[in-house]
Structure 1
Amino acid sequence: MPAEDVHRGESWSLSPDSRRPLPELIEQKLREQIIGGTLKAGDRLPTEPELARKLDVARSSLRTALQRLQLQGIVEVRRGLGWYVRRTDLAAVEEHIEGRLAARQFSQTDLLEVRIALETTAASLAAVRAGDGELDELAKLNLRYQRAPVEDTQEVIESDEEFHSALIRASHNELLEQMYQVLVPGLQDCKRHAHPSREVHNRSANEHEQVIWFLRRHDEVGAKSAMTTHLLGLYNDVATDDTQPKATLSTYVGVSDNPIWGKSR
């Protein structure tokens, strides 16, 4: 069913609740549309820009909500086609939600260490698999990030997320992409508390460029090392788990070496 034909008259207004994060309110509204029959199994959702307009929310918050529903098996994204309702038997889904949510109760240190593992692997794979169009798109997304005003936290977070998500997609590994999406809500929380200066923001954009440089040369080892260097900045600034020492990660790459974790001193 075309997105524009999905019950135009239905209300998409969010429930007012300032105590709950916006992505949770969006998730609740989409669930209501499914339970109420507005959205049925197999329906294509409106495009992200249209849905963001209907809900009057930023696309980054919308995407977080969609990713939460995706992890629950309620919606799915079809590459090049958009978001679709996968299932409407939410009672069965509810049985698995508590376990999924519990799995997200991790420290920032755990979150960022897993992110480094996934994104550096994605960078290596993208160096081998990404097409020229995907690399051009990464360059455009980084330009958007570079131009984002530092004081506009939402734009900084959204443009940075767009770049990293595009890199993950460029790995052409669907399981890796699904695993990465589990981290996105927590990563956004980390970034909101980072408050980077213009100097740090520019450095981050330059590190993105360095990753792209290695990707264009199909240098998987260089791409992995450059991504490691980039992600360590946030890791060292944000990871605050006091229950275990923060690890260090050598980014020196020799002929056959990869970045290696070690004990911090």
Structure 2
Amino acid sequence: MSETSTGETEGRSGTERVMAFFREKILSGEMASGDRLPAERELAQHLNVGRPLLREAMRALSMLGLVEIRHGSGAYVGKADVSVLSDFFTFSLAQEQNVSEDIMQARMAIECQAIRLACERATEADLDRIGGCLSALVKTLGDPEKGGEADYRFHDSIVRASHSQALITLYRAISALLKRSHVERRRTTYTAPEIVNDLVESHRRVFLSIVEGDGDAADQRLREHFAIGDELRRKSIIAAYSKGGLDL
């Protein structure tokens, strides 16, 4: 057995040893997506676990997309399914207090770094995609559901333009909560024309900052966009209560 499977893992349960084996092999680069795994008997002996336990662990890894089991051929290293990670974050964070504020802070951290990278790395295809999302955002101003979805796609396209797989994965992991946040914000702003116009102009400035390729300016405009969004949301809530538009 390897060094990590003797002294270091003696106190681990069988399942933990199986998980640790895959984690360590993938992190070290010894295994990559598509590589064939050792035969079940060999792997069970190597990890000092029973074959029934190994099968259960492999099924769990398969559900996460980390292992691909091909009947008649064996097991292969797969690729993690980000949607599973998104479900985990959604269930976990949705139970926390002030989740909307926490998600907003995480979103700002990811997007502000992503937009800097996008200024350096964005391709013509990326710019076309972001511009198309901006057009879709304008066309859906009167529909909170579609508008919120369009708003999310605009910001997601910025993160994708960073070409940072880590940022893209983290952003997608909280995508369900982000989409909900966008829709909720749209519901409080879409009935006020002056607020909607400011929203469009703010998105337009963010897009142009990426086209210009100035990372510092883009970062600043995006932060201003977040601040404007918060201020517009507050104004719309005040206006709604002042007009009796919200049920108390």
TM-score where L is the length of structure 2: 0.53
CA-atom RMSD in angstroms: 3.1
Structure 2: gaps of 5 or more residues: 1-33, 35-62, 67-77, 235-248
Q: In structure 1, how many angstroms separate the alpha carbons of the residues matched to 2:146 and 2:205? A: 22
Q: In structure 2, how many angstroms separate the alpha carbons of the residues matched to 1:212 and 1:220? A: 12
1:87 Cα shift? 7.6
- 2:172 is the counterpart of 1:181: yes
Name the residue aligned to 2:53: none
Name the residue aligned to 2:122: 130
Name the residue aligned to 1:160: 151
Structure 1: gaps of 5 or more residues: 1-41, 43-71, 76-84, 240-265
1:215 Cα shift? 1.1
Alignment of 1:1-265 (within 5 A): 73-74=64-65, 101-106=91-96, 107=98, 108-150=100-142, 152-194=143-185, 195=187, 196=189, 197-236=192-231
Are 2:195 and 2:232, in contact at CA under 8 Å, matched by a contact in 1?
A: no
Q: Mark the CA change 1:215 to 1:200 in structure 2 (over 3 Å): closer, same or farther.
A: same
Are 1:146 and 1:202, in contact at CA under 8 Å, matched by a contact in 2?
A: no
TM-score where L is the length of structure 1: 0.50
Are 1:146 and 1:201, in contact at CA under 8 Å, matched by a contact in 2?
A: no
Amino acid at match of 1:142: L
Shifted more, 107-116 versus 186-195: the winner is: 186-195
Q: Secondary structure at the match of 1:172?
A: coil
Are 1:138 and 1:167, in contact at CA under 8 Å, matched by a contact in 2?
A: yes
Q: In structure 2, how many angstroms separate the alpha carbons of the residues matched to 1:156 and 1:188? A: 10
Q: In structure 2, how many angstroms separate the alpha carbons of the residues matched to 1:100 and 1:199? A: 33
Are 1:124 and 1:223, in contact at CA under 8 Å, matched by a contact in 2?
A: yes
Bigger helix fraction:
2
